[in-house]
Structure 1
């Protein structure tokens, strides 16, 4: 397999590319930019595109993918596309219609990975997999207890293939990563470059990851950018990293993650940056019995 398209095997036999494009943007960013960024990313070599119903850009992202298929740049099976079930569709009878709505917007026959944010609606998702509307089922923001709850569910048909969580050198999730590995669940990192200054979700006083002097020093040493150091760190830990950018130069640059390696000493320095800084705290959920971030991991 081409170096650019390095993949990790999921527990259901499918493969997920280790580097993905995150397509979320704040509401004030025109949706057309998601389309442009997706096209640029596919041209640059990205084959894993991460979206969600709630991002409200599935039509644009779908259009970009279809234009690259029509242009002969990629085939549908070359693209690994992720969407997510939003919280308003958790009742079992709403799951398939929500997925079908996403597919209609995307104008695709199936998604490669469908993720749920909460430990419900799993049975309905399993039926979507049986119907061929989705290849793999995953979860997002689950802590260890919630993962165990799902894994121990009587009659579980398909184990989640991944757990998509915030993960970067300031929140390296090493305990959750070890647990996921032990259960053959892939950890997918969102906010792998820290987080953009999104005022809606992120505390503006939180430290800027990419300004960290350790990342800066390693970037100098390897003649790369701090962002590439942060992404390479994840890949060497066996984590799938989502890099969110709408900037052409940075989208192309992020592909260089396959061109160099960090030493074990570099990795040790990066491990030492962990300070449990969480950029996305989903404060609206605090106090809910399934709020995932009140436990150690």
Structure 2
């Protein structure tokens, strides 16, 4: 998983993923309507990793945005790393490829760069999608160490997951899961790295606002950067692939500046100390599934 000169990490299957990605989840119709323009802006300012999902209901907008930037010569298709996700209603083996093909149709793509299981419940049919050339890499999302071990120890495993996408921020830094993934050559990818949108369907709205944390604010002043940039840079220096999402041009441009400075070892350790094993995401909504395991405790 060596970091390349073009700000990408080579995964265990040999494919390369850019370490800073643009997220396209939108909580409501108003935000969904802004997704297309925001994705265009993200590509214009340098983002080459776009993270989407079937359940986000923004694939048509994202596809149009990417194709527009291909048409105007800003990028080629091979310059864009697109991640899609298998939603939980498609976990039966015979439905996995159906979900992927529906997403490809909405995007108007021939293939995805990465296709991951959105929640931890299915794998063999994913391997078949890779063999069919519909996706270049396969991975997982929201998997605990125990669930990863179940896959890695499964007889006949053809491709180990290239990536595990999880909630990761200073209040839940996933240090043990990060070490486990590194030891098994699996990239850890963080979402909600800035805390999270206050969407009551998925988020505990009683949680504190991460970017108002006094330590992050103080470190941000030290480097003349925003607390958001400090939170992003923290994860990049730990070796994670980082997803960020905003539809505001100013913030999209700001997030792209995460490579313009480096946190000191002392500041990295100080941010490590913010860990309180606190999750913004309400994982209990999946607790009725027979393969549900509580998030790793650290």
TM-score > 0.5 by shorter chain:
yes
Runs of 4+ that moved beyond 6 A: none
Query: What is the CA–CA distance in structure 2 between the aligned matches of 1:292 and 1:213, rounded to whole Å?
Result: 33
Q: What does residue 217 of structure 1 align with?
A: 218
2:11 alignment counterpart: 10
Query: How far apart are residue 286 of structure 1 and its match?
Result: 2.2
**2:87 matched residue in structure 1:** 86
Alpha-carbon separation, structure 2, partners of 1:222 and 1:248: 22
Against the structure 1 CA distance between its residues 9 and 294, is the aligned structure 2 distance closer, same or farther, given a 3 Å change threshold? closer
Give the secondary-structure state (helix, strand or coil) at the position aligned to 2:115. strand
Residue 151 of structure 1: aligned partner = 152
Structure 1 residues not aligned, in runs of 5+: none
CA contact (8 A) 2:120 2:292 kept: no
Unaligned stretches of 5+ residues in structure 2: none
| Equivalence for 1:44 | 45
Residues 200 and 84 of structure 1, relative CA distance in 2, 3 Å threshold? same
For normalisation by structure 2, the TM-score amounts to: 0.96
Q: 2:86–2:116: 8 Å Cα contact kept in structure 1?
A: yes
Q: Give the TM-score of the pair, scaled to structure 1.
A: 0.96
Q: CA RMSD in A?
A: 1.4
Q: Which residue number corresponds to residue 110 of structure 2? A: 109
What SS does the aligned partner of 1:29 have? helix
2: distance between equivalents of 1:118 and 1:150? 14
Which whole-Å CA distance do the structure 2 matches of 1:8 and 1:234 have between them?
14
Other structure's SS at 2:85 match = strand
Residue 196 of structure 2 corresponds to which residue in structure 1?
195
* Whole-Å separation in 1 of the counterparts to 2:5 and 2:28: 31
Equivalent positions of 1:121-160 (< 5 A) are 121-160=122-161
Distance 1:191-1:128 versus aligned 2 partners, 3 A rule: same
SS at match of 2:170: coil
Contact 1:19–1:46, Cα closer than 8 Å, also in 2: yes
Residues 28-68 of structure 1 deviation map (CA, whole Å, 9 limit, x = unaligned): 43422110110000001000000100000000000000000
What is the 5 A alignment of 1:164-179? 164-179=165-180
Q: Indicate the SS of the match to 1:137.
A: strand
Aligned length: 295
- 2:183 is the alignment partner of 1:182: yes
The whole-number CA distance in structure 1 between the counterparts of 2:77 and 2:101 is 18
Is the contact made by 2:116 and 2:138 (CA closer than 8 Å) also made in structure 1? yes
Q: Residues 64-91 of structure 1: CA distance to partner in whole angstroms, max 9, x if unpaired?
A: 0000011110011110000000000011
Shift of 1:121: 3.4
